[in-house]
Amino acid sequence: MTLKLFYTPGTCALASHIVLEEAGATYDTVRIDFRANQQQSPDYLKVNPKGRVPALVTDDGVLTETPAILAFVAQSFPDSQLAPFDDAFAFGRVQAFNSYLCSTVHVNHAHRMRGYRWADDPAAHEAMRKKVAQNMTACFDLIESEMFAGPWVMGEHFTICDPYMFTLTQWLEADGVDPSRFPKVSDHRQRMAARAAVARALDAERAS
Residue ranges in 132-161 that form contacts with a second copy under rule CB under 8 A = 135, 142, 146
User: Which of the ranges 35-43, 123-131, 169-177, 184-192 carries the binding residues for a second copy, by CB under 8 A?
Assistant: 123-131
Write b or e for each residue in 183-206: b if 16 or more Cβ atoms lie within 10 A of its Cβ, otherwise e: ebbbebbeebeebebbeebbebbe
Q: Which stretch binds a second copy (CB under 8 A): 2-10, 98-106, 157-165, 166-174?
A: 98-106
CB closer to a second copy out of 18 and 143: 143
95 binds a second copy (CB under 8 A): yes
Q: 3-class SS at 64?
A: strand
Q: Are strands 28-31 and 4-7 parallel, antiparallel or unpaired?
A: parallel
We find the least distance from the C-beta atom of residue 207 to a second copy, in angstroms, to be 28
Q: Which residues, other chains included, contact 173 with Cβ-Cβ below 8 Å and sequence gap of 6+?
A: 179
Q: Which long-range contacts (CB under 8 A, 24 or more apart) does 45-52 make?
A: 47/6, 48/6
Binding map of a second copy across residues 29-68, x = CB under 8 A, - = no contact? --------------------xx-------x-xx-xxxxxx
Q: At what angle are helices 196-207 and 13-22 packed, to 10 degrees?
A: 130
Site residues for a second copy per CB under 8 A: 49-50, 58, 60-61, 63-69, 71-72, 75-76, 85, 88-89, 91-93, 95-96, 99-100, 102-104, 106-108, 111, 117-121, 123-124, 127-128, 130-131, 135, 142, 146
